[in-house]
Structure 1
């Protein structure tokens, strides 16, 4: 840790060292950790995709009986749900997987971690923006509020 003038044993940190720095061998426990983390994430996404698909197929059957305005409303809510599930994948889990797998490449790079923290911090704003952009009533209400003149 010459770059930061810090001794790693003295500060709380999670190291990402898949290779032993003394002999260069692969650390089996770190590989197991990586595989379990990946398995957990893949399992969660498989469950979300399965439940989403089941919900979509059942929703299409039920929505066919509704009026056109209710059909439109249900489709808007479903689009919102899909986008709100996809957004954390892009802004939260993808950077996390990059951080977990990057040490296996043995590249001597230094990247600004602030980019990843920005992605974490921007997520709530994007989540709210998704709702405003996909649900027509919210979008019209926001436009009326912004264009309101006193």
Structure 2
């Protein structure tokens, strides 16, 4: 009511209440909320662990097949891997960290500023744009297109073949 001028009895919301005082003023610990907190952090930890394991395995696989790739394929794979690394870091900093912080601070009776408590909602809307921007600016062909840089196409042909082609086009 103080911060948003809303009656919590009329608004749907989800919150964890780790401690509360009963009618006699005794502090009561809500263990079910701690279980929910642990479960939520477990989900986030499993997502982060999966990203780290898959990233490491991808890095190892790319290193093992490097000798069989052309220079252009190596460069493209390097760009794509860097893009994936940054695209993995974005949700860690925009979703996992703010939500984890918002769930953890009340355990220590730290009051959260209302602006910060709205951060996960803000980042949820910002994340798709950041994800696309990373791909656009990390992959050279995308970046060159967006920045209107001309592409240099180099093709090498034998002089007899190209001379024959040119003469047939001019005479035809």
Q: Which category of TM-score, normalised to the shorter sequence, fits these structures? A: 0.7 to 0.9
Superposed displacement of residue 125, structure 1: 1.5
Gaps of 5+ in 1: 146-150
Name the CA distance, whole Å, in 1 between partners of 2:18 and 2:78. Answer: 45
Task: Look up the match of 1:10.
Answer: 10
Task: Look up the match of 1:134.
Answer: 138
Judge conservation of contact 1:34–1:100 (CA < 8 Å) in 2: yes
The structure with the greater share of residues assigned to helix is 1
Gaps of 5+ in 2: 150-172
Number of aligned residue pairs: give it. Answer: 145
Q: What TM-score, normalized to structure 1? A: 0.85
> Cα gap change, 1:3/1:101 in structure 2, threshold over 3 Å: closer, same or farther?
same
Q: Secondary structure at the match of 1:8?
A: coil
The match for 1:111 among 110, 114, 120 is 114
Structure 1 residues 19-72: Cα deviation after superposition (integer angstroms, max 9, x where no partner): 023232221000111111111211221122112111110111112211111100
Judge conservation of contact 1:133–1:139 (CA < 8 Å) in 2: yes
What's the Cα RMSD here?
A: 1.9
Structure with max Cα Rg: 2
Judge conservation of contact 2:91–2:127 (CA < 8 Å) in 1: yes
